Amino acid sequence: MNSNVSSPVSNKRPLRIAIVVGEMSGDLLGSGLMQSLKKLHNNIEFIGIGGPKMIDEGCRSLFPMERLAVMGIVEVLGRLRELLSIRKSLAQEFIQNPPDLFVGIDAPDFTIPLELMLREKGIKTAHYVSPSIWAWRQKRVFKIKKAVDLMLTLLPFEAAFYKKHDVPVKFVGHPLANIIDVDLNTDLAKQHWGYSLSDKVIAVLPGSRGGELKHIAPLFIDVMRQCYQMDPRIKFVVPLANAARKAQFERQLLLSETDFPVQLVEGHAREVMAGSDAVLVASGTATLEAMLLKRPMVVAYKWGTITHAIISPLVKSPYISLPNLLADEALVPEFVQDQATPENIVPAILEQLNDNENRKKLTLHFNDIHGRLRQNASDEAALALMKLIECSLD
């Protein structure tokens, strides 16, 4: 779908749009949304919490985004006082100086209660990126219905769920589906990292948050070691989200007394995956990127024992990875918690690395999903949000 985004509207009074994100994937979405909003209106003030990409686009970030990047119930409890204090400060700021629109991007446990507070004060609210209520804690939809004037979803089956519960919703597609070329030249990407086309390269992505690396990185290091023992020709590249995560992973490598070659890269996860022959990845947005890059993959995830004991009974979906959820079938192997072991993962990733017939089948499936998600998401989201603002200004 091609959006017809018109020239920016000039207005005497600037629009004031508040945006809050909690991690790097939200920062990417937020910056794209800001770019598209500026195409529609040339006088917008952005305020809230953003990462480096949003700040570059002109967002005044009231708190560092990293303070919201917390995973797991135990980890959240350890930072609960700080998180509640930040949310209270944001609510006071936005109630005293109301924006024309508040947009929460992902981070639902933080942003949706804030949206509810603001909407009760008459401020228009939208949420961009649905929480996984179709998979677990489905009753959250009733709180969301009270909290938002509009839900923007990246995935088509999410929009169907909200329509069923009479929540105003628009499926906008996923921005990555437009950013990533359908016919990407992966040979060039492989050569960029100094590998020959005959090298076997596995990209390893253990997550972007400190809590994820704590639980997942030791497992992935064991997997890499065993894969290398079985085939010393394999090359490993590990992109880490930032300098802090890279240092954390380096410490974990030292503790493991690593005896195999591994290349660490700060950032550039997409480029690393593009130049790989297979991907070992923690569940999350990276699984979607790997799919859009048409990479065979194995998905694994582990979290704290207490968090798992609380959350696992609430899970309704048979899958955790986005490729499997979008296809509604097990396209790629995935292993969670007790099943996430080297004994399970090593043979699975080696099969993904070496099975060319499987690679061809996956590419056909992935191309189909890529086409369905390629909707010019940032432009579609911006148009929907501007209509929401215009309704409140009428």
Please give the helix or strand (H or E) that residue 219 lies within, else none: helix 210-230
Q: Read off φ and ψ for residue 184, nearest 5 degrees.
A: -60, 140
Domain boundaries, the chain: 15-173+375-393, 181-373
What are the pLDDT digits (tens) for 260-272?
Answer: 889 999 999 999 9
Looking up tokens 């629109």, which residue turns up? 101
Helix axes 24-40 and 377-393, enclosed angle (nearest 10): 60
Architecture of domain 181-373: 3-Layer(aba) Sandwich (3.40)
Please give the helix or strand (H or E) that residue 59 lies within, else none: strand 59-61
pLDDT at 9: 52
Task: Say yes or no: do domains 15-173+375-393 and 181-373 share a fold.
Answer: yes
pLDDT at 391: 85
Instruction: Print burial letters for 241-275: b (CB count within 10 Å at least 16), e (below 16).
Output: beeebbebbeebbeeeeeebebebeeeebbbbbbb
- For the whole model, what pTM was predicted? 0.78
Low-confidence ranges of the chain (pLDDT < 70): 1-12, 69-79, 134-136, 303-317, 392-394
Half-sphere exposure in the Cβ direction for 299 (13 Å, CA)? 23
What does CATH list as the number for 15-173+375-393?
Answer: 3.40.50.2000
Parallel/antiparallel/unpaired status of strands 125-128 and 101-105: parallel
What are the pLDDT digits (tens) for 15-59?
Answer: 999 999 998 889 999 999 999 999 999 999 999 999 999 999 999
